[in-house]
Structure 1
Amino acid sequence: MRLSPRRHEFICVFLLGAGTLFLYLSYSVQAFIGENVIHTISERYPGRIFRLAGYYGQAIHYTAFAISSLITPSIQTYVRSKWILAMGSLLFALYYVGFVQVNSIYFFISQALMGIGYSFYNNGEGAYLSEHSSSETVESNTGIETAVGHSSMFVGGGALALIFYLISPSKSSGEIATQSYTDTQIRLIYGTLLGLNMMSFVIFACLPTKEYDSIASTSPTVIPSLRKQFGKFPSTFTFVSTKRQSYWQGEVCLLESSARKFKSAMKEVNMLLLLPFFGYMGLIVSFLIGVYPTTLAFTESLKSDVYIVALYSVGAGTAEIFGGVVLRRILLKFKDWGLVMMISTHFLAVSTALILVLLSVPEMATIQPTNEPTLLIKPSRVIVVIIGFLLGMGDFTITTGRAVICQVAVPKARMQVFSMSRLYQVSCDDQAALFFPCLSTFDLCVLACAFLFLTPYMKTTYWVIVLGFFLITGSTTFGIVAKRTAHLRRNVVSPCEDAKSKDRGETADA
């Protein structure tokens, strides 16, 4: 049976979402428990790895991601998006393999490779969507991919609970379950994560490549077969014929033009105003994924609750789903005030979460295991789920807000599509758009890296103060840009659609 173009698109996008789900499922689970696992190994085998290597590994991961994000878009000229996704998945797999026998050098190298893999995935995801979406279906396809692929925190919480249930000692054995792991448990956990990650590789490698009237198909860029792509690599470095020289001279001119637009975008008032917002986003995501889950393992009163991290993940994932299904529709009704209401919701959710963190997390729990009392609230499952929900709501609102604001902050370098969950899709006709998401990503990662390297000195109060300061600053500048660009958001049209409109006009004139 021959599939209609729309049904073919749906299958492609659904498979992309399924691959994303398995990739992020492993990624989010390891982020939640990574520092605790490393701390356990460092105590059991002194000298093998530094006890805070999990935090430093995240910093290296973000650094590699930021730097490689400036380079990986160019690779799409030679490699199909499905293979970029598959390569990214393989780089993730190298990290999980290292937990068979943890080694400090391999751990940090694999963190850097995973950062590169993440940038591969980011570019491949947006490119594949553009290859299998028309200008009329790109929004709905993005929604489908987001709904399937970016529910990993909710699914990851369930997966964590199942893993902990299977590896925890039975009551009849008389052993006490804790959040410290044996070597066998560590291998079982990361072996499971490796298996889930390899499922994403298989799905990405098997993604259909046939295109219909897609956004990418209207681009002059032609991507050859995989064999031809690899055959082109030698000619990348040797310019033999005049034709090749002319081609590469044109490419250099295009890159120079893009670089000029990139520098111009950096000088835009809106871009400068958004820098604190992007930096804050890096901090809050680091706290959401790495720092707060680690405090749950380092708090003595929660140490025997093996399901506490899973419950936190479910709470955050529930907020993401609630935001996509309910909150997003409500905020759309505010029209010009939608972004202001969104950042206001974010401010309320995160500020409440930070107050609860300050009152319920021991001062040293961000750094080491501690049995010291909290300021006011006793840590419990209920408090953890509430904080998880509030931080998840904060993550949803900030990524959705970034998705919209990046389209209109610098119109000459706007995205064609920017999904509600950190997904950006670069317009095929506007090469300057390649650099704008990289700029925000670079700024986002640099600040996160700086504070992750300072983690040994960042007590709970320090984290709350820093996050509170950047929350106020970032939310304020975001609100200013939202008001400055309200008139632009009424007519946000992708560059490809602009080009099509011009083509129709020229055809009519003819």
Structure 2
Amino acid sequence: MNQRRFELLCAALLGFGQLCIMTGFDSESFILESVIHSIHEREPERISSYAGYYGQAVIYAFYMVGCLFSPSILAVSTPKINLVISAIFFTAFPLGFLFTNSYYYYLSSALLGIGFALFYQGQGGYLTSHSTRDTIESNVSLSWSVGCCCMILGSCIMAVITKLSSDQTDMVLEALNTTSEPHKMERRFSEMEISLLFTAFTGISVIGIVTFFLMPSKDVEDCIESSTEKKESFMSAFKLTCSTMVSSKMVQLIPLFSLCGLNTSFWLSIFPTAMSFTTHNSNLIYLAAVYSFAVGAGEVLMGILISFLSKRIKNFGQKPTMTIGTVCVLIYCALIHLSTVTEAPMRPTHKEPILFHHSYLLALIIGLICGIGDCCINSVRSVICALAMPKRRSQAFSVSKFFQALASCILFFLSPITPLYIYTIGLPVLSIIAAVLFFSIAKRTQKMERKMTEGTRNAAEIGKKLNL
């Protein structure tokens, strides 16, 4: 096998491993609060009714702390070790829903947060050690496209299991000769449906562990950064991360990093919970599956479009992409504001929305726009972290994840008492502020790149004259 095929194989395996561990996490996030609310209603002593929100807050709190130390851990280990450990932590979380227990739930949430930090550092380290400067963009695009199919796969799993469990429920009701009135209650998950869903998510995560364990670990020739040559100690890498956090460029990008966390948490958990808590949607049992499929499709399609246009339009991955992302946030927040009751994320409600009710078509449209916007915002974050501080890429990316996790952590702790309209008004305002500050940093970065290019050309010309 030649080197190029080997690189593509490694990128594809990395993306497949990501698909496996993220299928469970993303799908769980869509329904987590609704699932736990259903468990609490049947057995109040087992777990708190708002443990879905609080558990995700714990995840992002430990993710935030992990981001401070993950570059240091990578400095003394290897990307493959980080990936395997992270996959084990991802698997531990859905496993707990087969025997729901508050203590295990919060412990596995903490481990999942650490797993997040280890995964993203391992992912970046593995790609740079299995790519050259000429192939890094295509390898990242391939890995990312494969990994983002997780939400599409998750939607299929949820649809199939929801169908099976609903058929079983109908048979029981018919046998008991009882009549249900689903329009008077929120979307609820039965014990059987929960067991089937989280068994499937656990099994897929185990495949992710095996995939990461079997991936090739040998560096390719002329790789960007070797995974075996360690240039820093644990403490020196940690100090570098801390100094990066207080640099002027990173401070100016805090609104963008916060937007990444708040935006993702909102469309991944808050809005799906609001749909589940809306009693008018009780007959729309496939709503979460349709929404998940649409988000995944939007992510993948926009990723392909950014990769395609970046090769033809200079700097398309910066200001144009950020503009698209900002517009998408404005549009989907407006649609959610008009179609969702303000108390829906906090408790089951039968109140009327401002303009229109949810439907499968509306969930499809909102999900598609959310996926496109999220892809744009996260893409520009990755690009600016790589370009603004070229000598501290790993640290800059970790700092961005730190503030992203901090924003998500605060959001989930406040979710039980935060009306929906705070999100639908606050996110558009934050996205505009983040875009303005990003444009400033992007302009300065492009000027810096031009100066570096001119300096390299001048040095080359001087070298030619000296040789003559």
Q: Same fold, TM exceeding 0.5?
A: yes
Counterpart in the other structure of 1:454? 414
Structure 1 residues 491, 62: CA separation in 2 closer, same or farther (over 3 Å shift)? farther
Counterpart in the other structure of 1:279? 258
Q: What CA distance in whole angstroms lies between the structure 1 residues aligned with 2:323 and 2:225?
A: 39
Partner amino acid, structure 2, of 1:370: T
Contact 2:158–2:197 (CA<8 Å) still a contact in 1?
no
Alignment of 1:288-299 (within 5 A): 288-299=267-278
Q: What CA distance in whole angstroms lies between the structure 1 residues aligned with 2:322 and 2:222?
A: 33
Q: For 1:415-445, what per-residue CA distance to the aligned partner results, in whole angstroms no more than 9, with x for missing partners?
A: 2xxxxxxxxxxxxxxxxxx322221111111
Counterpart in the other structure of 2:26? 28
2:181 matches 1:221 = no
Q: For 1:344-386, what per-residue CA distance to the aligned partner results, in whole angstroms no more than 9, with x for missing partners?
A: 1111111011111111011211111111100111211111111
Partner amino acid, structure 2, of 1:159: I
Q: For 1:236-264, what per-residue CA distance to the aligned partner results, in whole angstroms no more than 9, with x for missing partners?
A: xxxxxxxxxxxxxx966x844x5665455
The 10-residue stretch of structure 1 (190-199 or 460-469) with the greater mean CA deviation from structure 2:
460-469
Counterpart in the other structure of 1:41? 39
Counterpart in the other structure of 2:177? none
Partner amino acid, structure 2, of 1:86: V
Partner amino acid, structure 2, of 1:321: V
Counterpart in the other structure of 2:60? 62
Q: For 1:148-180, what per-residue CA distance to the aligned partner results, in whole angstroms no more than 9, with x for missing partners?
A: 122212222222212222222256665668831
Structure 1 residues 491, 130: CA separation in 2 closer, same or farther (over 3 Å shift)? farther
Point out where structure 2 has 5 or more consecutive residues left out of the alignment: 175-179
How far apart are 1:216 and its partner, in Å?
Answer: 6.1
Counterpart in the other structure of 2:132? 134
Structure 1 residues 111, 342: CA separation in 2 closer, same or farther (over 3 Å shift)? same
Counterpart in the other structure of 1:368? 347
- Name which of 457, 471, 492 aligns with 2:431: 471
Counterpart in the other structure of 1:204? 212
Q: What CA distance in whole angstroms lies between the structure 2 residues aligned with 1:459 and 1:219?
A: 46
Counterpart in the other structure of 2:84? 86
Q: What CA distance in whole angstroms lies between the structure 1 residues aligned with 2:341 and 2:221?
A: 56
The 10-residue stretch of structure 1 (208-217 or 387-396) with the greater mean CA deviation from structure 2:
208-217
Q: For 1:104-161, what per-residue CA distance to the aligned partner results, in whole angstroms no more than 9, with x for missing partners?
A: 1211111000111111211111222222222222222112111212221222222221
Q: What CA distance in whole angstroms lies between the structure 2 residues aligned with 1:218 and 1:251?
A: 13
Alignment of 1:71-82 (within 5 A): 71-82=69-80
Partner amino acid, structure 2, of 1:199: I
Q: For 1:288-339, what per-residue CA distance to the aligned partner results, in whole angstroms no more than 9, with x for missing partners?
A: 1111111111111112222100100111111112212235434654425652
Partner amino acid, structure 1, of 2:254: L
How far apart are 1:221 and its partner, in Å?
Answer: 1.6
How far apart are 1:220 and its partner, in Å?
Answer: 7.1
Structure 1 residues 381, 491: CA separation in 2 closer, same or farther (over 3 Å shift)? farther
Partner amino acid, structure 1, of 2:192: T
- Name which of 119, 122, 125 aligns with 2:120: 122
Partner amino acid, structure 2, of 1:35: E
Counterpart in the other structure of 1:427? none
Q: What CA distance in whole angstroms lies between the structure 2 residues aligned with 1:452 and 1:440?
A: 19
Partner amino acid, structure 2, of 1:392: G
Partner amino acid, structure 2, of 1:186: I
The 10-residue stretch of structure 1 (313-322 or 213-222) with the greater mean CA deviation from structure 2:
213-222
Classify the secondary structure of the residue corresponding to 1:374: coil
Structure 1 residues 58, 375: CA separation in 2 closer, same or farther (over 3 Å shift)? same
Partner amino acid, structure 1, of 2:206: M
| Count of aligned pairs | 449
Q: What CA distance in whole angstroms lies between the structure 2 residues aligned with 1:491 and 1:13?
A: 33
- Name which of 381, 384, 397 aligns with 2:363: 384
Partner amino acid, structure 1, of 2:416: P
Taking only aligned residues, the RMSD between alpha carbons, in angstroms, comes to 2.7
2:188 matches 1:180 = yes
Partner amino acid, structure 2, of 1:326: L
2:48 matches 1:50 = yes
Q: What CA distance in whole angstroms lies between the structure 2 residues aligned with 1:172 and 1:260?
A: 62
Classify the secondary structure of the residue corresponding to 1:370: coil
Structure 1 residues 314, 489: CA separation in 2 closer, same or farther (over 3 Å shift)? farther
Structure 1 residues 269, 82: CA separation in 2 closer, same or farther (over 3 Å shift)? closer
Q: What CA distance in whole angstroms lies between the structure 1 residues aligned with 2:145 and 2:294?
A: 17
Structure 1 residues 135, 492: CA separation in 2 closer, same or farther (over 3 Å shift)? farther
Structure 1 residues 46, 174: CA separation in 2 closer, same or farther (over 3 Å shift)? closer
Counterpart in the other structure of 1:110? 108
Partner amino acid, structure 1, of 2:336: V
Partner amino acid, structure 2, of 1:183: E
Partner amino acid, structure 2, of 1:201: I
Q: What CA distance in whole angstroms lies between the structure 2 residues aligned with 1:412 and 1:28?
A: 32
Contact 1:336–1:489 (CA<8 Å) still a contact in 2?
no
Counterpart in the other structure of 1:245? none
Give the TM-score of the pair, scaled to structure 1.
0.81
